[in-house]
Amino acid sequence: MPLGTLDRTPPAFFKQGPSAISKLLFFSALSVLLMVADVRFHVTQPLRATLSVALYPVQWLAMRPQAFAQYSGEYLESLQDAQADAKDVRQKLLQQSQRAAQVEQLTLENQQLRALLNLHERLNTVGFVAEVLYDAADPYTRKLIINKGMTNGVKPSAPVMDEHGILGQVTRVLPLVSEVTLVTDREHSIPVLNTRTGARGVAYGESGGAPLLELRFMATNADIEVGDQLTTSGVDGVYPPGVPVGIVTKVERRAETAFARILCEPVGRVQGARHVMVIDPLTDQLPARPVIEKPQPLGLIKGGRR
């Protein structure tokens, strides 16, 4: 076959089609046409909506790490804020509780002091308020230590009472503190008067475990009943008369003995007193005894012997 007759065109497989410039112009024009059509006639709106629905799960999954990080940060921040707020609230609650306890304590002390002052005015005696420091260390006695002593004018045997009645008596005076023996001490005794019958007696501290008084040396047929009120009689020259001491709680009359066993409950707070009133003994308020001149012997006269 002659060389001039050979077909030099490439096979259809290797045909390149339109040129690159032609493709650029065609697709540019198509893009402009589609944009104009979309702006004016919204021809691609259904397609865009379909694609957005189809791509929403992919977008949701792609946003999860960011959302998780943001949620974790907000959770940790809110947790720290909540813990800080809870700590502040607990601290404020403790402060309020402490203040409430102090208010209750001050209110109770105020009531006790007012009652002591009222009792002091009714008795018309000289005295002052003292604070109980602590109980005596001896477990076999019932004594208190108060914060007033010799420098404050406390005198030995001075009566001590609270807003309810007699507590005891000063038995030891030191420069700054004093020791008070309570009426329930087994070595203490106090003359009392039954306000119902007017009968006098002597109440002693009960040696048992309970803080009680025992009205001793009362006959079995004595007129005394449970509930009778006992006050100071004032015959001892120490306690002022008419101050409450105790209430009769038990009366035992036995045939084998001539005396009844009478137990009384003290009206004073012998186990919980905080503020007490120390008053001067009754002997300091009584007038001095008159001086009685001794009569001269009959055998003596002025100026010599008879």
Q: What is the DSSP string of the chain?
A: --GGG---SPPGGG---S-HHHHHHHHHHHHHHHHHHHHHH-TTHHHHHHHHHHHHHHHHHHHHHHHHHHHHHHHHHHHHHHHHHHHHHHHHHHHHHHHHHHHHHHHHHHHHHHHHHHHHHHHT--EEEEEEEEE-S-TTS-EEEES--GGGT--TT-EEE-SSSEEEEEEEE-SS-EEEEETTSTT-EEEEEETTT--EEEEEE--SSS--EEEES-BTT----TT-EEEE--TTSSSPTT-EEEEEEEEE--TTSSB-EEEEEESS-TTT--EEEEE--GGGTSPPPPPPPPPPPTTEETTEE-
Count of domains observed in the chain: 1
Q: Residues 224, 250: contact at Cβ < 8 Å?
A: no
pLDDT attached to residue 274? 85
Q: What percentage of residues in the chain have a pLDDT greater than 90?
A: 24
Q: What is the pLDDT of residues 96-122, one digit of tens each?
A: 776 666 666 666 666 666 666 666 555
Q: What is the pLDDT of residues 30-55, one digit of tens each?
A: 888 878 877 777 777 777 778 777 87
Distance CA 180, CA 186 (A): 13
Domain that holds residue 151: 125-284
pLDDT band at 201 (very low <50, low <70, confident <90, very high): very high
In a domain, 203, yes or no: yes
In a domain, 175, yes or no: yes
pTM of the model: 0.57
In a domain, 9, yes or no: no
pLDDT attached to residue 301? 47
Q: Which residue in 116, 174, 178, 181 sits closest to 147, CA to CA?
A: 178
In a domain, 296, yes or no: no
pLDDT attached to residue 139? 78
In a domain, 194, yes or no: yes
Q: What is the pLDDT of residues 141-194, one digit of tens each?
A: 889 999 999 998 898 989 998 888 899 999 999 999 999 999 999 889 999 999
CATH number at residue 190: 2.40.10.340
pLDDT attached to residue 123? 59
pLDDT band at 305 (very low <50, low <70, confident <90, very high): very low
Please give the residue that has the higher pLDDT: either 162 or 127: 162
pLDDT attached to residue 245? 93
Q: Which residues pair with 51 in a beta bridge?
A: none
In a domain, 62, yes or no: no
Q: What is the pLDDT of residues 242-295, one digit of tens each?
A: 889 999 999 998 888 889 999 999 998 888 888 888 988 877 655 556 666 666
In a domain, 257, yes or no: yes
In a domain, 12, yes or no: no
> Which structure tokens are listed for 110?
């105020």
